[in-house]
Amino acid sequence: MSIKRLSPEELLALDRFAVDEGNPHILVDKAICARCTARPCLVVCPARCYQLKDGQVHFEYAGCLECGTCRVMCTDKGVTDWNYPRATFGVTFRSS
Amino acid sequence: MAEDDFDAIVVGAGPAGSACAYTLAKGGRNVLLLERGDSPGAKNVSGGRLYTYALDLVDPELAGRAPLQRRIVREQIMLMSGQQATTIDFADHGEDAAGARSYSVVRATLDEWFAAEAEAQGVTLASGMRVDSLLEENGRIVGIKVGDDEMRCGVVVAADGVNSLIGQHAGLFPDAKGHALGVGVKETIELPSAVINQRFGVKDGEGAARVAIGCTEGISGGGFLYTNQDSISLGIVFNPEQAARNGRQIQEIFQDFKLHPAIAGLIEGGTSIEYGAHLVPEMGLHGVPARLHRDGLLVVGDAAQFGINTGMIIRGMDLAMVSGLAAARAILEDGEPAASGQRYLAQLETLMLLPNMRAYAEFHGIFGIDRIFKEYPALANDALRFLFTVDGKVPPPMISQLRRIVTSKVSFGQLAKDAWKGYRSV
């Protein structure tokens, strides 16, 4: 394999995740996000967990790298609760 | 009153937590070290360089056993723009001063090793444990809660990283603000050791560290590259507020950096094996919360926002270890462990952590000079391109052409203002 541009999906596919199905560790209130105009989450989330779909902010916690950037940057507090995944869940780094 | 299960509970088995637990156990204390990852390091990402004086402070025997990657012997600064790059490459082949060494590290192996060293000193290490809340009685922190399990202790040490939910739960400081942090993204790229040696002009066990500016679309921040034994850590740290205003996804900007011809040639043929992200304290001393302790609780490492970034030197893990050591020494001193806050602050002075941070206190001002991240690197490259160009035509007078290159990017008024700002920062 050689070096090439990797999409967010391809980057996340390099990592190992144990997804806590049905148990998001970050809660997002879509009603608040609908009123937010700044929406920094769309740009600063390194895992691109926040994406615009049909004009709405859609949040997917499965590929979260647990960095905390959305918690810090969320201007209108649409991120209503931010925690780390429960023990044994989330990302596991082996080479970072 | 209920009996304590442990003398101390340390939350987080990163460099700060393990340094603290190691020292406490060596001093005869009964310590529980909790880690939310499946193993220490599993949740951690850093650029990848450790200044090993800090390990020596904890125990002079540690560095010899540590899984260090390569000793950094080449320090490189890269100014990037368009298809150009100017790289300053400082190599010191003389005898290095004792205690002034640094090594590239991989956190998954370094943190796991350090926690195991703490275990060997008698620490009880429990991985896969997320601390959910603190136990408080009469205004004093007396333990922690993991799920429904309560564990009591004489003192809790919060080594829970840059997001420090523990410190926030304890009411010591509010949530960190975007302008005080950097968001780092990093790809680890596997390459054979011999190829790394060749491309970076180093011998076995030796390595290079590189910082890069001009690769962030003008956003405050910069790229980094560290050579590990048989991989390369490549990444960028961005100011998240400026990145949000810039509007382009940060991992896209990072991929541009990776594919810049001056970087791509270094990693060509390699295999991307991991992608990580992490927040970094960026404000130096000015980002450290006013309160780092309360009755029964001490805050260490990234949780205390200990970090130094001069643009050339980026420090975090060493300060984490020193602060963990400071907390342990404070707890080991005579007196009530729960009331060791003032002794902890005194140890941060004695161990030179706070004096170090004071020495660099204003350095983050450099990052307030916006043009450093775009115009100045481009200016350097344009000037060098002009100076090295031979095309058979009669060149314009050198001084007037150089002046034209400068003023195409920046006015002399701006130049003077930035020079003054830079001077005041250092």
| Residue B423 one-letter amino acid | Y
Quick check: is A55 in a domain? yes
Pairing of strands B49-51, B102-104: antiparallel
CATH number for A41: 3.30.70.20
Residue A63 lies in a domain: yes
CA distance B263 to A71: 32
- Ordered domains of chain B (ranges, CATH): 6-69+105-173+289-351 (3.50.50.60), 179-281 (3.30.9.90), 365-425 (no CATH)
User: Quick check: helix, strand or coil at residue A82?
Assistant: strand
Give the model confidence (pLDDT) of B251-281 as tens digits.
999 999 999 999 999 999 999 999 999 999 9
- Assess if residue A61 is contained within a domain: yes
Highest mean pLDDT among A71-80, B30-39, B356-365: B30-39
Global ipTM:
0.97
Sort residue A66 into left (φ over 0), alpha (ψ -120 to 50) or beta. Answer: left
Reduce the DSSP state of residue A27 to 3 states and report it: strand
CA distance linking residue B144 with residue B17, whole number of Å: 15
B396 with B357: CB under 8 angstroms? no
Cβ separation of B276 and A87 shorter than 8 Å?
no
pLDDT in tens, B293-303: 999 999 999 99
Q: How does pLDDT run across B155-197, given as a tens digit for each residue?
A: 999 999 999 999 999 999 998 889 999 999 999 999 999 999 9
| A10 belongs to a structural domain | no
Query: Which range of residues forms the domain containing residue A53?
Result: 23-90
The nearest alpha carbon in chain B to A5 belongs to B255
The C-alpha atoms of residue B296 and residue B393 are separated, in whole angstroms, by 76
Mean predicted lDDT score pLDDT of chain B: 95
pLDDT in tens, B318-346: 999 999 999 999 999 999 998 999 999 99
User: How far is Cα B1 from Cα B8, in angstroms, rounded to an integer?
Assistant: 17
Class of residue A17 by CB neighbours under 10 A (exposed 0-12, middle 13-18, buried 19+): middle
Residue B49 near residue B226, CB atoms below 8 Å: yes
Span B59-75, mean pLDDT? 96
Is there a domain that residue A43 lies in? yes
Report the number of distinct structural domains present in chain A.
Answer: 1
Residue type, B338: A
Distance from B372 to chain A by nearest Cα, in Å?
21
Q: Which residues of chain A are within 8 Å of residue B269 when distances are taken between CB atoms?
A: 2-3
Report yes or no: B115 at the A interface, CB cutoff 8 Å: no
- Asked, for residue A14, whether it belongs to a domain, the answer is no
Nearest Cβ partner of A67 from B247, B273, B277?
B277
Contact B248 A43 (CB under 8 A): yes
Residues B211, B213, B216, B221, CA torsion sign: positive
Interval A47-51 mean pLDDT = 97
> Which residues, 6 or more positions from B220, have their beta carbon under 8 angstroms from its beta carbon?
B238, B239, B242, B367, B368, B370, B373
- Give the 3-state secondary structure of residue B116: helix
Residue A83 CA, chain-centre distance (Å), reads 12
- B313: distance to nearest CA of chain A, Å? 20
CA B145, B150, B151, B152 torsion-angle sign: positive
The pLDDT tens digits for B10-25 are 999 999 999 999 999 9
Tell me the three state secondary structure of residue B234: strand
The residue count of chain B comes to 426
Residue A37 has pLDDT above 70, yes or no: yes
Interchain proximity B277–A43, CB inside 8 Å: no
Whether the pLDDT of residue B50 is over 70: the answer is: yes
Q: Do A65 and B240 touch (CB under 8 A)?
A: no
Place of tokens 């090594």: B103
Tokens at A71, concatenated: 């918690």
Q: No. of H helices and E strands in chain A? A: 4, 6
Look up residue B247 and give its two tokens.
């509007």
Mean pLDDT of chain A: 95
Q: What residues have CB less than 8 Å from B43, skipping those under 6 apart?
A: A66, A84, A90, A91, A92, A93, B36, B37, B161
What does the pLDDT read at residue B93?
Answer: 74
